[in-house]
Amino acid sequence: MNSTSSASVRVISNRLLVPFRWGWKQLRRINLTTWIFISMLVGILIGWLAPGFGVSLQPFSNVFLYMIQCLVVPLIFSTLTVGISGHGDDVAKIGRLALKSIVYFEILSVLALGLGMLMGNILKPGQGVSLSSVSASDRSQASNGTTMTWETELYSIVPKSVFEAASKNEVLQIVFCAIVFSIAIIKAPTHVKQPMITFLSSLSELMFIVTKMVMNLAPFGIGASLAYTIGKNGIGILATLGKLLGCFYLSLILFILVVLVPSIILTRIPFKGFVRCTWRPTLIGFSTASSEAVLPMAMENLQAFGVPKSIAAFVMPVGYSFNLAGTTLYLALASIFAVQADGIDMPLSQQMAMMFTLMLTSKGVAAVPRASLVILAATLKNYNLPLEAVAVIMGIDALMDMGRTAINIVGNCLATVILAKWENDFGRETEEDRITMGEELEAGYEDKQSHLKEISISH
């Protein structure tokens, strides 16, 4: 009787669990990208409907970003070192790639600054904005850290300590150390260089595996980040500075259509393949406002797209310091906004001089929090413009940071592919992998046929 009743209970419990098992099975079928979209929607709703709770979720967003940031230094150092030293003794090729990269980055920066200045003068987002309501604390915060000279720019390249640069995630300084270390490896004898290259190659592969593990937590970090942003700023801030925000995102769309898309067409890059390669890293970068959060994924996707590891490992980290199209466009538009908000009629020649200053000062500070605001404040101070404009922009800077981060990511990915095309290396590594795999399969098939033939002869 007891056994019969227990069996009945098990049958009933199994039937009751059927819907839950079916639901769990369906949830497991949802891919990471879909979960990211779901988390973005949930985060926006939480920030709008329960702003207090949304603000309290900031630690979850920060923890996710910390997990990503702790991967950046070992990943960049290992991949960049292996990428450069993997060229063998061809130092000239490294120099040629570096020169092409810098030239391309500067051309893109000039186009971004020009478009930002043009849109600012046409749409005039600063007209009608009052700077008198800015509080004293906001003015003080806006004026902090505004001293920027060529000396500080030079110091931002060469670190006092490798460990200090690593602890602060100074990307440009890590790149400098990796380049010097790579040149030393190239010059070293074979018995010295080979173990180090093997170790760094293994480290690079392991860091990509760890990155995949961390990325499974992306929906939680992204949802918490959006909930905090909307919860803290609210919907009202969009109405106050909606014209500047709309002008900025319209400028980003025009930059994509006028600069990035023609670049893809002219260099004959497969458009659909490039979109598939970049849209997930761009989405994560947009929602977290962090370029570092997607560097490992972007590099891995680019390699799968056909970019050799040596080029991806060199161009992407360097681009994180020198190829900031979204940031430079933002700085150009924000500086024109400050001019208009102060009621100044600045001549075009002076505006162009200010754009040139921004082009020089915007390099090498991608990993610094609020770096764009520091650069903007320094530029406004140099041209005797009101720092109160920075305090006003700070209210929507988090929302603008999302857009400029996304464009920075797309621009760096496109630059990496274009430079691989210029070096005639795009798709070659992938094709070599396919040929190698085909040869291995063919060899395995021949071995199997030979083995079967031996068995038939023996019988």
Task: Answer yes or no: is pLDDT of 276 > 80.
Answer: yes
pLDDT at 139: 45
DSSP class of residue 292 equals: G
End-to-end CA distance of the chain: 62
**Taking the domains of the chain in order of start, what are their residue ranges?**
31-438
pLDDT at 250: 95
The fold for domain 31-438 equals Proton glutamate symport protein (1.10.3860)
pLDDT at 135: 44
Measured between alpha carbons, how far is 230 from 396 in angstroms, rounded to an integer?
10
- How is 403-456 classified by DSSP, letter by letter? HHHHHHHHHHHHHHHHHHHHTT-TTHHHHHHHHHHHHHHHHHHHHHHHHHHHHH
Q: What percent of the chain has pLDDT over 70?
A: 71
Task: Answer yes or no: is pLDDT of 457 > 50.
Answer: no
Q: For the segment 297-343, what is each residue's pLDDT rounded down to a tens digit?
A: 888 899 999 998 878 888 888 787 778 889 899 989 999 998 888 78
The one-letter code for the residue type at 93 is K
Q: Which residues contact 120 (CB under 8 A, 6 or more apart)?
A: 126, 247, 332, 333, 335, 336, 337, 340
Output the CA torsion 326→248→152→159 (10° steps): -30
Q: Which residue has 């075009």 as its token pair?
A: 348
Q: For the segment 416-446, what is each residue's pLDDT rounded down to a tens digit?
A: 999 999 888 887 655 444 444 344 444 443 4
Q: For the segment 342-354, what is each residue's pLDDT rounded down to a tens digit?
A: 788 888 888 888 8
pTM greater than 0.75: no
pLDDT at 190: 83
Average pLDDT score over the chain:
76
pLDDT at 266: 92
Closest CA to 374 of 352, 350, 358, 356: 358
Highest mean pLDDT range out of 32-36, 217-221, 447-451? 217-221
Output the CA torsion 195→200→203→205 (10° steps): -100
Measured between alpha carbons, how far is 142 from 361 in angstroms, rounded to an integer?
17
pLDDT at 165: 81
